[in-house]
Amino acid sequence: MDTNERCQSLPIIHTQKVEWTKSEKENNVVIIPHPIYSEEVESWIETFYSLDLADCDYISKYSDVEQKPISELTRDETLTRITAIVRGEKFCDGRIADALESGVLEELCVHLHEITKSDKKAKTSTSILLSDLLKNNGINPDEVVIIRHVMSQDHFNKCLKKGFVKEYTQIQGKNKKMLKRSKYWMVFIGTNGTRAKLYCMYKYKGFSHVSEHTMPTGFPCPDMYKDDANLYELEETDLFSDLKDRLIIEWGSATQSWYQSANVRKPIVAIHSQQKYAFEGYESCIYSFEKLKEIVDDMGMGAYEEHWKALSSVKGVYLIVDTTDGKQYIGSASGDKGIIGRWSEYVNTHHGGNKELIKLLENDPERYMKFRFTILKIFSDGASEKVVTDAEKLFKAKLGSVEFGLNDN
């Protein structure tokens, strides 16, 4: 692969909160807190290095690009900035955490993807905009604010699972002038990369101050009702209800701007089919790479909603078979996004950061199309990482995937 292709293979790492260990004292020695990175982040770092994208001369170049707007960076300057963040972690704990929480790392990844796209991809991009859809339905885009929630936000994730998306959306800061003057709030949920799917269209009715006495029963994030914020009254409408979970827009590189005017350019990427494919159980999961890509791209928004929900709700041990020669790779998924979170990395990189698969694809770049994905064992969402990895080791021993397959340890 040339450099642009390798840049396209680097997954977009989403903005997320990073937990830290607590400061402890052991034998009169103070143990300094350090960040705890998720499996997704660790895999992304490994992939960045495995794709050979690091700038070996980043130290001498960094001062020239540090203050330059991300939108103006060249490909090589973008890689310099990313390298400085990743390498900087070795000298200062939390460098990556800061870039993750601020959204800078996601913005750099998105920009890198945009400037390394092939001309062919650029020419085929759609010119139908969300504002066009609104106008065609008699709605003035100036009267609509669009909001993008992301799954990496812990409070939102909890509220989505418990059915409190509207209640979560209603609690916002006091000085949000655009929210107050907008007739409609069009709420989206972030999906792959910088895309977002339509969740609901609300009508704005006014605001009051947040009070814990008005908190609905069962709301999973009670601390939100103790913040110094406003409670914006929203009324659910039927507007575009037929497009819920089906309308996909490209939010663009400004993902830190979680609410914007609907007049901002937002291309409509797709409107998914209403056809649904039933999930027939974990023991029946046998996916070709092509089918898995359809599920990952679907993001639980359309035809593969049941598959996405099932695969994101469990951790587990999985098997990848190279159907060209029958060799096997056994891996595990113990992150917050479950099995689909780990499998998404294979769709995005084709190798998931696994050393033997990387070597395989170096010799035969299209070999990933022959991979078949299955599940060996599932665990509940609350299972510890140790329990999952111990099961992974056991299956490696049973099936001999180290001696005779594609595992290197």
Half-sphere exposure of 255 (CA within 13 A, CB side): 33
SS3 186: strand
Structural element, H or E, at residue 244: none
Report whether 33 contacts 21 (CB < 8 A). Answer: yes
Mean pLDDT of 163-192: 91
Report whether 209 contacts 175 (CB < 8 A). Answer: no
Strands of 35-192 (E only): list them. Answer: 35-36, 144-149, 171-172, 184-190
What domains can be seen in the chain, in order of their start residue?
Answer: 3-121 (no CATH), 130-271 (no CATH), 282-399 (3.40.1440.10)
Q: Evaluate if residue 360 carries a pLDDT over 70.
A: yes
Q: Evaluate if residue 255 carries a pLDDT over 80.
A: no
Three-state SS string across 216-231, please? CCCCCCHHHHHCCCEE
DSSP 233-264: EEEE--TTGGGTTTEEEE--S-TT--EEETTS
Q: How far apart are CA 48 and CA 42, in angstroms?
A: 10
Read off the tokens for 94: 């939390």
Q: Evaluate if residue 85 carries a pLDDT over 70.
A: yes
Determine the pLDDT at residue 119: 42
Q: For the ranges 84-98, 114-128, 275-289, 393-407, which has the lowest average pLDDT?
A: 114-128
Alpha helices in 191-298 (DSSP H): 289-298
Determine the pLDDT at residue 127: 64
Tell if the pTM clears 0.85, that is, is over it: no
Q: What is the pLDDT of residues 378-392, one digit of tens each?
A: 999 889 999 999 999
Mean pLDDT of 190-200: 85
Q: For the ranges 23-32, 56-65, 212-221, 235-244, which has the lowest average pLDDT?
A: 23-32
Contacting residues for 205 by C-beta, under 8 A, at least 6 apart? 233, 234, 235
Q: For the ranges 58-62, 118-122, 199-203, which has the lowest average pLDDT?
A: 118-122
Report whether 292 contacts 320 (CB < 8 A). Answer: no
Distances (CA, A) of 38 to 137, 220, 295: 43, 22, 23
Q: Evaluate if residue 60 carries a pLDDT over 80.
A: yes
Report whether 191 contacts 248 (CB < 8 A). Answer: yes
Displacement of CA 68 from its chain's centroid (Å):
26
Read off the tokens for 395: 């299956």
Q: How far apart are CA 270 and CA 246, in angstroms?
A: 8
Average per-residue pLDDT in the chain? 88
Q: What is the pLDDT of residues 294-322, one digit of tens each?
A: 898 877 767 888 999 999 999 999 999 99
Q: Evaluate if residue 268 carries a pLDDT over 80.
A: yes
